């Protein structure tokens, strides 16, 4: 008899899935994809919303309690907001989250708040308009700031939604901007999270660009006031650890994917927009569930999900020179 919950070979219960709904994005961020962009996947090879709904139903039965939707940029996918609303209504116990670059939030912020999303992560690496345009190859910072404000004006925080701002640390770009970013988040009551630049694709990553979070924290004027926060419940938690400022009470998150791995507590699977289950961000191992989804074959889908769980490594391996794992295609 097949197990009733997804558990990997090392006893880690897999309760959190990240699902990419599109390979497309309206940005061309330098750390995410090469300047030429990436080859687009034909529409017929992308999971439909009906495919994703079926996947979620099966995953819920297997103990998954949190689903985060990513891209590319998920909000460029037509019909995403109504789909998320339907998903929230159909699975009231499921924590539904969204990761976005924020550029399209203004128009849909009230609806996202009303439907009861558990969290929205907005990627924002700098508050300098010129730096922002350079990093994204031409995007406007104002659109993102307006999107964050639209969420807050719609009552996101009072509705219980967690609004997070994700900052990828890159030496020579924003490693000296931590204080300003912390102040920005604190003034708005949103949670800032610093993410170490991960070596996923040699065409966009270099060791010279990597800066460990501890170096950034130690450079802050009030570095001694930041203390590690005791770990809370981790059943549906992501990889971030948290620090609290003893003077202000502000919390910030840190994702130390390079300097301090978090593999021992990893509870995640990733599903690409083409229906491939990626067992680890730092691995090319994957299991296709696309045909099982299209056939609505629950038995085959369960079998392949358990196959992916067993393939999950004890610890992720850093990129070697013969591999590439583009974040824009994996979905974060």
pTM for the whole structure: 0.91
**Helix spans in 17-78 (H):** 49-61
Question: How high is the pLDDT of residue 206?
Answer: 64
Q: What is the pLDDT along the chain (332 residues), one digit of tens a residue?
A: 345 899 999 999 999 999 999 999 999 888 777 777 677 899 999 999 999 999 999 999 999 999 999 999 999 999 999 999 999 999 999 999 999 999 999 999 999 999 999 999 999 999 999 999 999 999 999 999 999 999 999 999 999 999 999 999 998 899 899 999 999 999 999 999 998 886 655 555 566 788 888 888 888 889 999 998 876 545 556 678 899 999 999 999 988 766 666 788 889 999 999 999 999 887 888 999 999 999 999 999 999 999 999 999 998 755 444 444 455 555 55
Question: How high is the pLDDT of residue 237?
Answer: 62
E strand segments, the chain: 16-20, 66-70, 95-100, 119-123, 162-169, 191-196, 226-228, 241-245, 251-255, 268-271, 276-278, 286-288
What is residue 16's three-state secondary structure? Answer: strand
Question: How high is the pLDDT of residue 325?
Answer: 47
| Domains of the chain by residue range | 16-330
Distance, in Å, from the CA atom of 127 to the CA atom of 109, rounded to the nearest integer, reads 21
Question: How high is the pLDDT of residue 327?
Answer: 52
CA torsion, ordered 331, 180, 154, 163, to nearest 10 deg = 40
Q: Given CA atoms 313, 318, 320, 323 in this order, what sign does their dihedral have?
A: positive
Q: Cα 53 from chain centroid? A: 19
Question: How high is the pLDDT of residue 134?
Answer: 92
Question: How high is the pLDDT of residue 177?
Answer: 94
Helix 49-61, helix 298-311: angle, nearest 10: 70
Share in percent of the chain as helix, strand, coil (round to 5): 35, 20, 50
Strand order in the sheet with 119-123: 226-228, 241-245, 251-255, 191-196, 162-169, 119-123, 95-100, 66-70, 16-20, 268-271, 276-278, 286-288
Helix 141-153, helix 129-136: angle, nearest 10: 110
| Domain 16-330 -> CATH class | alpha beta
Q: Which of 41, 25, 81 lies closest to 273 in space, CA to CA?
A: 41
Distance, in Å, from the CA atom of 99 to the CA atom of 105, rounded to the nearest integer, reads 11
Question: How high is the pLDDT of residue 236?
Answer: 57
């Amino acid at each position: 008899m097949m197990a009733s919950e997804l558990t990997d070979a090392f006893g880690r219960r897999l309760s959190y899935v990240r699902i990419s709904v599109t390979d497309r994005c309206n940005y061309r961020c330098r750390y995410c994809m090469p300047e030429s962009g990436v080859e687009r996947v034909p529409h017929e090879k992308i999971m439909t919303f009906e495919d994703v709904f079926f996947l979620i139903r099966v995953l819920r039965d297997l103990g998954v309690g949190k689903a985060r939707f990513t891209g590319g940029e998920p909000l460029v996918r037509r019909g995403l907001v109504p789909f998320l609303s339907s998903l929230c209504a159909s699975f009231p116990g499921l924590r539904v989250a969204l990761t976005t670059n924020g550029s399209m939030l203004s128009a849909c912020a009230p609806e996202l708040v009303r439907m009861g999303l558990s969290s929205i992560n907005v990627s924002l690496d700098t508050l300098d308009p010129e730096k922002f345009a350079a990093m994204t190859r031409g995007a406007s910072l104002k659109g993102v700031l307006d999107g964050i404000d639209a969420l807050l004006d719609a009552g996101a925080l009072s509705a219980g939604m967690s609004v997070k701002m994700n900052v990828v640390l890159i030496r020579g770009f924003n490693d000296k901007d931590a204080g300003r970013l912390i102040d920005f988040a604190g003034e708005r009551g949103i949670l800032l999270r610093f993410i170490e630049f991960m070596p996923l694709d040699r065409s966009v990553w270099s060791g010279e660009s990597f800066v460990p979070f501890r170096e950034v924290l130690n450079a802050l004027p009030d570095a001694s006031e930041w203390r590690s926060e005791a770990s809370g419940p981790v059943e549906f938690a992501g990889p971030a650890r948290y620090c609290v400022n003893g003077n202000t009470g502000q919390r910030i998150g840190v994702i130390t994917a390079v300097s301090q791995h978090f593999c021992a507590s990893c509870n995640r699977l990733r599903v690409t927009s083409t229906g491939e289950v990626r067992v680890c961000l730092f691995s090319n191992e994957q299991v296709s569930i696309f045909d099982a989804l299209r056939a609505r074959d629950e038995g085959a889908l369960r079998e392949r999900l358990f196959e992916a769980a067993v393939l999950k490594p004890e610890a992720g391996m850093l990129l070697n020179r013969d591999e590439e794992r583009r974040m824009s295609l994996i979905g974060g």
